[in-house]
Amino acid sequence: MTLKALGKPLFCEALRRIISTLANKNEELQNFLGTVDRTIIGLQDESCKVTSELELEMEKLSSALEEKGVELREAIVEETQRKKLELQKQLSDGKFALLSCEELLEFANQTLSISNEEEFLKAAKEIKERVTMAPAFRLTTRPAVSESMAKYSVDFSMERSALQRLHFLLVPKAPEIDISSCIVCDNIISFTWQPSNDAACATSRPTECYDVEYQKTDVNGWQKPAGETPWEKICDITDTKVTISGLKFDTCFTVVRVRAKNKMAAGEFSEPVTIETRAYNFSFDATTAHVDLKVQGDTVTWEPQGVKSHDPRLKGKENKSSSRSATPSPNKTAAIRAGRDRFSGESYTVLGDQDMIGGCHYWEVRPLADWKSLTQSLTSRLYLPSLFGTVVSP
């Protein structure tokens, strides 16, 4: 066999590897281009959305400013009208007093030309009385109100500055999970986190709530699962701590992360933290189960047995009672039924498929809705032949 013949299979194998690499890269590039196209479309849609939201907020702001302007203008008009009414009344009273004063002055001048002493004294007395009661001497010569409207002066410099500081809402930065606070107990995980130092920034809204997500994995150190395992979510947490209960630790680790939300936006998730969730996991050993038991995964079900087939004595008693009466006594029937419910039952056993070797173990047994009672027990391997691990009775 020549070297040339030996080299061709090697070159073919290398060429196949190159083709496989190129095919994978080709698929990766196609996926990348598809992602970019979708991102461009999403960017345009998101741009239209935020522009519409901006226009709506600007309309609300303009409407609020216009309403406040109408309110302030009405206040100025009302104050001006009030002052004008007071001045017009004072003007009317002044004109009346002036007319009265002119008439009295003319009468006084005419009195000076009276030659008859008796008539002169009478006229002078009348003038004195009229002067005492004259409106001109009871009317103040000072305007009731001033023309000043200083209390309605406006200064919107602060508001103008606030408007000039308006900017887009800042997305809250990712919180930081306190690794030392992560606690695993039984089937519960508890942990706390610290808000970002920028959460109280003047241009950002305060954090209103948090979203927590967790995911099971068998890898120490988070990485994107191959099967796109979905994150379990707990939303709208108002505190900076959470307790996740009712878990089933069927993996070695649980990854947790948290993000902050304000009124308008949700921020990025924190760095994922991997928590070790060691647990005692076992399944049921179907080979050790009673023939009437149906073992499927971690669930055991069975069909209850009929009472009559297990207690022929009850059946015999019922046959004997028919010789005395075709219809048995209701009290006796009730007593028989109560006896059946009280003393009949089934007892089954099924073993787990794992041994417990040292340590403290936690597990749960959750009976179904139609259960009556259930007992679980432990035993040494030496006593397996005499084990009655699961007992169901009324």
Query: Please, what is the average pLDDT of the chain?
Result: 78
Q: Does residue 318 register a pLDDT over 60?
A: no
* Helix, coil or strand: residue 269: coil
Same domain, 185 and 205: yes
Tell me how many domains the chain contains: 4
For residue 166, being part of any structural domain is answered with no
Same domain, 204 and 241: yes
Same domain, 267 and 368: no
Same domain, 109 and 142: yes
For residue 168, being part of any structural domain is answered with no
Same domain, 388 and 292: yes
Same domain, 93 and 111: yes
For residue 22, being part of any structural domain is answered with no
Same domain, 269 and 317: no
Same domain, 262 and 357: no
State what percent of residues in the chain have pLDDT above 70.
Answer: 72
For residue 170, being part of any structural domain is answered with no
Q: How many angstroms separate the CA atoms of 79 and 109, rounded?
A: 45
For residue 55, being part of any structural domain is answered with yes
- In the prediction, which pLDDT does 3 show? 45
Q: How many angstroms separate the CA atoms of 188 and 244, rounded?
A: 6
pTM of the complete model beyond 0.75? no
For residue 351, being part of any structural domain is answered with yes
Handedness of CA 246, 251, 253, 258 (dihedral sign): negative
> Could you tell me how many helices (H) and strands (E) the chain has, helices first?
5, 14
Contact 338, 359 (CB under 8 A): no
Same domain, 269 and 291: no
Same domain, 227 and 256: yes
Same domain, 336 and 349: no
Q: Which residues contact 354 (CB under 8 A, 6 or more apart)?
A: 280, 281, 282, 283
Domain housing 236: 176-276
Same domain, 228 and 291: no
Most confident stretch, 45-49, 102-106, 184-188: 45-49
Residue 270: pLDDT band (50, 70, 90) is very high
Mean pLDDT of 230-258: 89
